[in-house]
Chains A and B, each alone.
Chain A
């Protein structure tokens, strides 16, 4: 089976398709405004447009891009750069990332200014106090969703409590924990446990 993901180097020499780049920018800017809860929340809409409607990438390319966005260092939103590169090379990567980030960043800056200006107002105080517990619930569910992907593979599930313990009790740095897990996973995969 050949790899599903392609990072074509020949696109570097291709003529740039400005209409396509503009289309991508507009689409990702639209996604950006809708992406409450992070870019993972708009994956279904991205799939509808890029895979089904436009046929710019296929389903397994999309899945591989999401996996890389989550495993690679940096925010998961980088998955859009991987998608953009596959469609239109480095310009595509730059355009999709800019489109995905610029609108939401502008909104965040503007909201932050309003929040700072009215920091003493009871309304902002209520907002902060009322939203904090939602975040705790949301993060708990994120842990569940990530973990349940391997619900049937106990050698992998075992990693969750160990990582939790190392972080909670031993205060080991997150990077160290993830690298240890990577080493264990490579070993387990190589031995054919998975």
Chain B
């Protein structure tokens, strides 16, 4: 939050200009970028989205990406779809939200159904099976790299790192269902954040 209000004050003109440059020009621009994300997102769109939206287009900061993703994740629905809606809405209202979502979902439908058709004929080929399995592993490596990149955007490395570790343990060691893990660790994290907040105000 503080970041945004900093920019509104007496920021130099050049800073304002870069800020204005790095936002989607129109709903059609949103559709275009999100469809490109979706079409190159083999094995998960999220790492590609982070690469494109934060690093290449620079529409949002890493911290903003992380916080938007956090909200997208606790709402029902695919994370990346929720993010597309939130970012699209932020930049170009309902039209932007619909354009981003449509860009994400419609263009890849054809390759998806084509791959399903190919799979129905080639599923027994060891080369196709090997390629698919290796691509899934590459996706795991990419998610890992994205996780570390985004964790640098956490504001309080120690306490936030502990919460992230607790979440990891709840899911992988205790094997809690996602809703329970979110409820328990989420309640703790929100309570800590709330306490910090109210202490700052005192």
A112, B67: Cβ atoms under 8 Å?
A: no
Please measure, in the bound complex, the distance between the C-alpha atom of A126 and the C-alpha atom of B199, giving whole angstroms: 12
A138, B140: Cβ atoms under 8 Å?
A: no
B147, A143: Cβ atoms under 8 Å?
A: yes
- Bitwise interface map of B from 53 to 81 toward A, beta carbon under 8 Å scored 1, else 0: 00000000001001101111111111111
Query: For residue B74, which residues in chain A have a CB less than 8 angstroms away from its CB?
Result: 36, 131, 134
B143, A69: Cβ atoms under 8 Å?
A: no
Which residue of chain A has the shortest Cβ distance to B124 in the bound complex? A1
Query: For residue B79, which residues in chain A have a CB less than 8 angstroms away from its CB?
Result: 37-38
A132, B70: Cβ atoms under 8 Å?
A: yes
The A-B contact count (CB < 8 A) is: 387
Query: For residue B63, which residues in chain A have a CB less than 8 angstroms away from its CB?
Result: 132
Please measure, in the bound complex, the distance between the C-alpha atom of A113 and the C-alpha atom of B142, giving whole angstroms: 31
A189, B131: Cβ atoms under 8 Å?
A: yes
Known: A135-B66, A138-B167, A141-B172. A77 touches B78 (CB 8 A): yes
> Which residue of A69, A75, A166, A194 contacts B81 across the interface (Cβ within 8 Å)?
A75
B interface secondary structure, majority: helix
Which residue of chain A has the shortest Cβ distance to B56 in the bound complex? A173
> Which residue of A4, A103, A139, A185 contacts B150 across the interface (Cβ within 8 Å)?
A139
- Bitwise interface map of B from 150 to 188 toward A, beta carbon under 8 Å scored 1, else 0: 110111000011011111101110000011001001100
CB distance from A74 to the nearest CB of B (A): 3
Query: For residue A97, which residues in chain B have a CB less than 8 angstroms away from its CB?
Result: 105, 109
Interface residue count on the A side (C-beta < 8 Å) = 106
Using a CB-CB cutoff of 8 Å, which residues 126-151 of chain A contact chain B? Answer: 126-144, 146-147, 149-150
> Which residue of B77, B108, B136, B141 contacts A108 across the interface (Cβ within 8 Å)?
B77
Using a CB-CB cutoff of 8 Å, which residues 114-134 of chain B contact chain A? Answer: 115-117, 119-134
Which of A18-26, A48-56, A117-125 participates in binding chain B? A117-125
B143, A36: Cβ atoms under 8 Å?
A: no
Query: For residue B178, which residues in chain A have a CB less than 8 angstroms away from its CB?
Result: 36-37, 41
Query: For residue A194, which residues in chain B have a CB less than 8 angstroms away from its CB?
Result: 126, 129-130, 133
Query: For residue B43, which residues in chain A have a CB less than 8 angstroms away from its CB?
Result: 70-71, 178
A101, B101: Cβ atoms under 8 Å?
A: yes
Pairs A–B under 8 Å by Cβ, sample size 7: A36-B74, A70-B139, A112-B90, A132-B154, A134-B70, A174-B51, A194-B130
Interface residues of B (CB under 8 A from A): 1, 38-48, 51, 63, 66-67, 69-82, 85-86, 89-90, 94, 97, 101, 104-105, 107-109, 111-113, 115-117, 119-151, 153-155, 160-161, 163-168, 170-172, 178-179, 182, 185-186, 189-194, 196-198, 201
